[in-house]
């Protein structure tokens, strides 16, 4: 069995952002040379997500509004987490809803997606360098 590990770095200019990272994961897969196996892609921060869905701008707008209704950023003092002086309680909650990681099968050297599936990085407390881990195992 072979294994491959890489960290992808992001520093979004906005607090909330959605980035299609499928091309970077495909590049990792090419670098790994693995033809049959599994790729794990996970956010390495507790205020960011990795998830799979459609690359459709209306949907990303809907996520932003839906998450803001569930966990509004303001007022900051509505959250006990922010009593410590932080202001990112909403980002922790948004990450919990959108998930930490995805696992995708690798078949014949390709990501074995269903229709329209793409991998996204979801940022909920950006404007600083943050990482995503890509771990590939197989042969
Ligand atoms: Zn926090």
Which residues are close to ligand 1, an ion, with C-beta < 5 A? 86, 88
Residue 123 binned pLDDT confidence (cut-offs 50, 70, 90): very high
Structural domain boundaries, residue 102? 2-138
pLDDT value, residue 137: 98
Residue pLDDT, tens place only, 13-63:
999 999 999 999 999 999 999 999 999 999 999 999 999 999 999 999 999
> How much distance in Å is there from the Cα of 87 to the middle of ligand 1?
7
Q: CATH number for the domain including 83?
A: 2.60.120.460
Please give the pLDDT value at position 102. Answer: 98
Overall number of domains in the chain:
1
pLDDT digits (tens, 9 = 90+) for 64-77: 999 999 999 999 99
Buried b (16+ CB within 10 A) or exposed e, 97-131: ebebebebebeeeebeeeeeebbbbbbbbbeeebe
Chain centroid offset of residue 82 CA: 23
Which residue, among 41, 45, 51, has the nearest Cα to 97 in the 3D structure?
51
Annotate 81-104 with DSSP letters as a single string. Answer: GGGGS---HHHHHHHHHH-SEEEE
Write down the pTM of the prediction.
0.96
Number of residues that this document lists for the chain: 139
**Distance from the alpha carbon of residue 116 to the mean position of ligand 1, in angstroms:** 33
pLDDT in tens, 72-111: 999 999 999 999 999 999 999 999 999 999 999 999 999 9
The angle that helices 89-98 and 57-70 make with each other, rounded to 10 degrees, is: 130
């Amino acid at each position: 069995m072979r294994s491959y590990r890489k960290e992808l770095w992001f520093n979004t200019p906005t607090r909330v952002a959605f980035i299609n990272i499928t091309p970077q994961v495909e590049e990792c897969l090419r670098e790994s040379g693995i033809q049959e196996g599994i790729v794990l892609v996970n956010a390495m921060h507790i205020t960011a997500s990795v998830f799979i869905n459609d690359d459709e701008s209306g949907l990303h707008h809907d996520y932003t509004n839906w998450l803001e209704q569930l966990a509004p950023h303001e007022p900051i003092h509505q959250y006990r987490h922010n009593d410590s002086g932080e202001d990112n309680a909403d980002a922790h909650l948004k990450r919990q809803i959108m998930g930490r990681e995805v696992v995708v099968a690798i078949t014949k050297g390709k990501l074995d997606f269903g229709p329209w599936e793409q991998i996204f990085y979801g940022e909920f407390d950006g404007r600083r360098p943050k990482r995503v881990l890509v771990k590939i195992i197989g042969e």
